[in-house]
């Protein structure tokens, strides 16, 4: 067996192990907001990778001043290629017009 063949053979052995150890690749697929004194935010997160934990950060942003009025961070466990709905509640400090901004991170910051 030549050197190139040995390297290829070893790569075929190692590649599945590396892929199996890959963490999640989460993305926010949908955000549904129900406003009121407390905002109910339903976040759909899809995982396009391996198993692991991710962090969701949701903020209520004032539509006029663009300042954050409320924020919550929540850790989630994701299985490989899983899609889940995550309910969150945010209460702004003052009444007003807000929009929800949601991000999901891996690794957890």
* pLDDT tens sequence across 19-50: 556 899 999 999 999 999 999 999 999 999 99
Evaluate whether residue 74 is within a structural domain: yes
User: Which residue segment(s) compose the domain that 86 sits in?
Assistant: 23-105
Q: How many domains does the chain have?
A: 1
Residues 62-97 have pLDDT tens digits of 999 999 999 999 999 999 999 999 999 999 989 999
Task: State the sign of the Cα–Cα–Cα–Cα dihedral 57, 26, 66, 42.
Answer: negative
Whether 3 maps to a domain, the answer reads no
In a domain, 6, yes or no: no
User: What CATH number is given to the structural domain containing 76?
Assistant: 2.60.40.10
- Residue 14 in domain: no
Kindly state whether residue 86 falls inside one of the protein's structural domains: yes
Q: What is the pLDDT of residue 5?
A: 59
Please give the distance of CA 14 from its chain centroid, rounded to a whole number.
28
36 touches 66 (CB < 8 A): no
In a domain, 18, yes or no: no
Q: Classify residue 8: in a domain, yes or no.
A: no
pTM, rounded to two decimals: 0.79
Does residue 10 lie within any of the structural domains?
no
């Amino acid at each position: 067996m030549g050197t190139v063949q040995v390297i290829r053979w070893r790569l075929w052995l190692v590649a599945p192990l590396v892929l199996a150890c890959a963490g999640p690749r989460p993305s926010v697929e949908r955000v549904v907001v129900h406003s009121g004194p407390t905002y109910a935010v339903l976040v759909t997160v899809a995982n396009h990778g391996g198993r692991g934990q991710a962090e969701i950060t949701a903020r209520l942003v004032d539509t006029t001043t663009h300042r954050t009025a409320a924020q919550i961070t929540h850790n989630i466990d994701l299985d490989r290629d899983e899609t889940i709905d995550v309910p969150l509640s945010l209460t702004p400090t003052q009444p007003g017009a807000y929009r929800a901004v949601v991000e999901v991170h891996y690794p957890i910051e």
